[in-house]
Amino acid sequence: MTETELRDNLDADDGYQVVVNDNRPLSVTVYGEPFAKGRSAAQGAEQSVLLWEARADDARAFGHAQRVQHLADAVFRFMNTGGTAAELSDAMKKIAKVIGGPLTLPDGYFLLETYLNTDNYYEHVFVSPTQDEAVVWVEKGFVDLVPWQTIAERLAENGRHDSATYLEHLANTWTEEARPALPPVRNRLDTPAAGPAG
C-alpha cells in the first residue's frame, strides 16, 4: 500500500465518534456519530444517535452524561480498531461477570465530572449540595477531600472550563440556607470544633 492509497481509504477523523454539546447549566447532550473522510457520515443505516440528554440545570444528569460519554468512547475505540458487534457483545457479557455494582460514595455525593487529566490518569470529581468540600479521585493515584475552589482551579487547569464554570454556578446556588444542618465532612485528623460555653 502506498501513502496515497492509505490516505484515500482512511482519514484521521474517520470512524465512530462521541460528539458532546456542553451548554451547562442549560444542557449537555451526548451523540454517537459515524465519520468518513473527516466528515459526518450520519445517513442511511449509519446515523447520529442521541445517547444521553441532560437539561434544566440537573447536576446529577450532567454527571451521568460524563459516564455515557466515556462508555461510548471506549466502545467506539474498540470498533475503530477492528472490533465487530459480535465481539463487543461477547466481551460485554464477560465484563458483566466482573462487575458487582457501583462503588459506594458517602451519602449525598454524586459525579460532577470525569476526564483524562494532564498526567494521563482518569480523574473523577464528586460533589454534594450538603458539603463544602468535593471528593477528587485520581484512579491509581489518590482520593481526597478538596475545597470547591481548588476543584474549580483543577478543572480549569485540565481544560474542563465548562465544568469549572458550572461548579462555580453550583457553589452559588447551593446556599447555606438550602443545606441541611449537617457538619462538614472532616478529615479524620481534624479535631471537632468546641461546643458552646456552658
User: Is residue 53 assigned to a domain?
Assistant: yes
User: Is residue 196 assigned to a domain?
Assistant: no
C-alpha span between 133 and 136 (Å, rounded) = 10
C-alpha span between 168 and 1 (Å, rounded) = 53
Burial label for 151, CB within 10 Å (0-12, 13-18, 19+), is: buried
> What is the domain count for the chain?
2
For cell 460555653, what's the residue? Answer: 197
Whole-structure pTM value: 0.77
Q: Which domain holds residue 73?
A: 1-82
- One digit per residue, the tens of pLDDT, for the chain of length 198 reads 888 877 777 888 888 999 999 998 899 999 999 888 766 666 655 678 999 999 988 999 999 999 999 999 999 999 999 999 999 999 999 999 998 877 888 788 999 999 999 899 999 999 998 888 899 999 999 999 999 888 888 888 888 888 888 888 888 888 654 544 433 434 333 334 444 443
Whether residues 53 and 111 fall in one domain: no
User: Counting every residue, how long is the chain?
Assistant: 198
C-alpha span between 73 and 61 (Å, rounded) = 18
